[in-house]
Structure 1
Amino acid sequence: MSEIKPNDKGSSEESAEEQDWAAAKAAFDNLKSNKPRPPKPKNAVTIAVSSRTLFNMKAERKIFEEEGLEKYVAFQQEHENEPLKPGPAFPFVKALMNVNTQLRELYPDNEELFDIVLMTNNHAQVGVRLINSINHYGMLRRDLTIERFCMTGGKSPIGYLKAYLTNLYLSKSADKVIQAIDEGIAAATMFTPDTEQELSNTQLRVAFDGDAVLFSDESEIIVKQHGLDTFFEHEKHFENKPLAQGPLKCFLEALGKLQRKFYAKNERLNCPIRTFLVTARSAASSGARVLKTLRSWGLEIDEALFLAGAPKGPLLQKIRPHIFFDDQMFHIEGATELGTISAHVPYGIGQKYHKGKLIEQPEKKE
């Protein structure tokens, strides 16, 4: 059966309307062919970000806390055509887009890409402003389309993270991050730096602490409970025994998977992903076990920086990562003061200490 077109009069000559119809259909078909399909979640590296990490919603949050939910939603609707300002995760997400651009150039049909999910407990009525803000900053484009939203209407979104096959969750809520880590998902609480730094537009730069971030907190437990001398002896004795994995090991693994896509095309030197280990460990006394652990996992780190207890902030200021992960707020504070976008990983024994002092834990109610 022949296709029925509008105003088909059976004439052999095409009318102006028929020509318009054909042109519109051709343009639509061309659009479909030029826009790659979003990657299947099972193949992608999925990053879930909250609306308050992607955008600066400090003023809106104040309305919510002081005037309540209804006033907050009304404010968002009244200002839905005003784009929100970038938040702490914004440069990180833009860097992910740039990696995707380069991956698509090498592998046009590749589905091993970064995929962003906006994971928020906002109400659906706020969604229009979030979508308009994403559009304003060009985040709905062929390199990486933020098409997957999860708006839970005031309820915690943590229960959806596994369903979205999340590789990393970033939030401003420490409670939600702790819940995510308890569910076995790499997660961190984001902090906005005190000053802005110019970051790379061509390379994603990710810096990790070691113990209680990439690795378990077993070594930190020894330091806190028995001191440095016992720690050094322990590390030397167990130098050839790999450390247990920490909460962000799986994210480093996901980054390595994408890095190898570039290596396979002889693009190691031009790889747009660069990873850094920035640890307070000493290289001579406790560094070998760290490097041997990474080797046993089949993982690479581009730069390993052992500071032997020196402050991390000045070095991170030189690295200029799009995100820095650490389990101790002491290091997070020092990094943000000098302009580094930082993310706290609330994991392990370090959460009981601040600036080396034991924090009194509230007694649990029976």
Structure 2
Amino acid sequence: MIPGEKVMTVAVSARALFDFEEENRAFLEEDPAGYRALQGKRLDLPARPGAAFSLVRKLLALNCGDAHNVEVAILSRNDPVTGLRVFASARHHGLPIGRAIFTGGAAPHRYLGALGADLFLSANAVDVRAAMAAGFASARVWPEPSPEGHLRDDGELRIAFDGDSVLFSDEAERVFRLMQLERFIDHEVRNAHTPLPPGPLKPFLSALCRLRNGSGSPVSVRTALVTARSAPAHERAIRTLMAWGVTVDEAMFLGGRPKAPFLAEFGPDIFFDDQLRNCESASRHVTTGHVPYGINNEAEVALQ
């Protein structure tokens, strides 16, 4: 990290980091005693890696020598006793995590500001929406354990982003939803030199670019834009990134084709998308984070 730059901080829930799905099935919101008792019996049993494990391990590997580039903090609804198992599991797997907040069932997102979090990852959709509403970049991680192939330590951190409603605002997505495809393309061509407003994960991409340029770590960072856009609507996306002074290593303009096969080839440690159907498809191949932002998520919010 360049001297004076802010350390990138990622907050992750215990259930996103470790495989607590069996224990979670014993959880009752009105009476969590059974869940806590089960966790208490397993304090000396290290939890298996969860969906966000590979991402967190590689983020922490960006701390090289005396350089402190990334901070990972556990932010969890678990009680402090269960927190003993969480910390023990982190030690078992060699994750140098020292900071954690266990809220005992209270909403965790209120601590994101104090942590200075650049990103919040959780398997709890309610917590993610609350964090997003409070202005924090957040994603709901599919809680299935990471496929074994994605636990490999290959020395490269790979992260893939959808464009509209993730890196960019939902401005263009609203045009697409409210107009015909032809009118959307015409709108984007006319505005090709007008940068799109930033979306919720733009600051996270900017932080990754700073790490890539100045971490000094043996772990490299590779990013990809994976979007349903196609030419000629691609130009505005690229020019927006140029205007922000950030870059991606790969850009996939898929013209509406399914993203999952391309993601399987890229092999990201996490892929971020705003549309649930894309997330559900991608999660069969790669760790996926749903970003509940923009017009595609407004109907879901209205139903809650």
Shorter-normalised TM-score: what interval? Answer: over 0.9
Once the 2 structures are TM-superposed, how far is the Cα of residue 66 of structure 1 from its aligned partner?
A: 8.4
| Contact 1:189 1:344 survives alignment (8 Å) | yes
> Which residue number in structure 2 is paired with residue 34 of structure 1?
none
**Matching residue within 177, 202, 213 for 2:166:** 213
Q: Secondary structure at the match of 1:314?
A: helix
In 1, Cα distance between the equivalents of 2:20 and 2:32? 14
Q: Output aligned runs, 1:222-241, within 5 Å.
A: 222-241=175-194
Find out whether 1:84 has 2:47 as its counterpart. yes
Once the 2 structures are TM-superposed, how far is the Cα of residue 352 of structure 1 from its aligned partner?
A: 4.3
> Which residue number in structure 1 is paired with residue 229 of structure 2?
281
In 2, Cα distance between the equivalents of 1:58 and 1:152? 19
> Which residue number in structure 1 is paired with residue 200 of structure 2?
247
Q: Secondary structure at the match of 1:257?
A: helix
Q: Which amino acid aligns with 2:159?
A: V
Deviations along 1:103-144, one digit per CA (max 9) or x if unpaired, are: x2xxx4323x111100001111111111111111111xxxxx
| Contact 1:55 1:90 survives alignment (8 Å) | yes
Find out whether 1:164 has 2:120 as its counterpart. no
> Which residue number in structure 1 is paired with residue 297 of structure 2?
351
| Contact 1:121 1:157 survives alignment (8 Å) | yes
In 2, Cα distance between the equivalents of 1:335 and 1:132? 31
| Contact 2:176 2:184 survives alignment (8 Å) | yes
| Contact 1:48 1:116 survives alignment (8 Å) | yes
**Matching residue within 261, 282, 289 for 2:214:** 261
Deviations along 1:278-316, one digit per CA (max 9) or x if unpaired, are: 00000x220010010001001011111110110000000
Find out whether 1:123 has 2:67 as its counterpart. no
- RMSD over aligned CA atoms reads 2.3
| Contact 1:259 1:271 survives alignment (8 Å) | no
Residue 271 to residue 132, structure 1, CA distance change in 2 (3 Å): closer
Residue 82 to residue 71, structure 1, CA distance change in 2 (3 Å): same
> Which residue number in structure 1 is paired with residue 133 of structure 2?
182
> Which residue number in structure 2 is paired with residue 94 of structure 1?
57
> Which residue number in structure 2 is paired with residue 138 of structure 1?
94
The percentage of aligned residue pairs carrying the same residue is 38
Find out whether 1:110 has 2:67 as its counterpart. yes
Q: Which amino acid aligns with 1:57?
A: F
Find out whether 1:316 has 2:266 as its counterpart. no
| Contact 2:125 2:140 survives alignment (8 Å) | yes
TM-score using structure 2 length: 0.92
TM-score using structure 1 length: 0.77
Find out whether 1:307 has 2:263 as its counterpart. no
| Contact 2:58 2:219 survives alignment (8 Å) | no
Higher RCO, 1 or 2 (CA under 8 Å, sep at least 6)? 2
| Contact 1:336 1:342 survives alignment (8 Å) | yes
In 2, Cα distance between the equivalents of 1:260 and 1:41? 14
Q: Which amino acid aligns with 1:93?
A: V
Residue 236 to residue 197, structure 1, CA distance change in 2 (3 Å): farther
How many positions carry a matched residue from both structures? 300
> Which residue number in structure 2 is paired with residue 5 of structure 1?
none
Structure with max Cα Rg:
1
In 2, Cα distance between the equivalents of 1:167 and 1:151? 19
In 2, Cα distance between the equivalents of 1:195 and 1:147? 23
| Contact 2:228 2:255 survives alignment (8 Å) | yes
Once the 2 structures are TM-superposed, how far is the Cα of residue 212 of structure 1 from its aligned partner?
A: 0.0
In 1, Cα distance between the equivalents of 2:286 and 2:239? 28
Once the 2 structures are TM-superposed, how far is the Cα of residue 67 of structure 1 from its aligned partner?
A: 8.8
Residue 41 to residue 190, structure 1, CA distance change in 2 (3 Å): farther
More moved, 253-262 vs 208-217: 253-262
In 2, Cα distance between the equivalents of 1:160 and 1:89? 20
| Contact 1:99 1:203 survives alignment (8 Å) | no
Deviations along 1:43-96, one digit per CA (max 9) or x if unpaired, are: 311110001100111111111128931222122111100111111001111111
Structure 2 residue ranges without an equivalent (≥5) = none
> Which residue number in structure 2 is paired with residue 290 of structure 1?
237
> Which residue number in structure 2 is paired with residue 72 of structure 1?
35
Deviations along 1:232-270, one digit per CA (max 9) or x if unpaired, are: 0100111110000000001001101111115xx7x9xx7
Q: Secondary structure at the match of 1:68?
A: coil
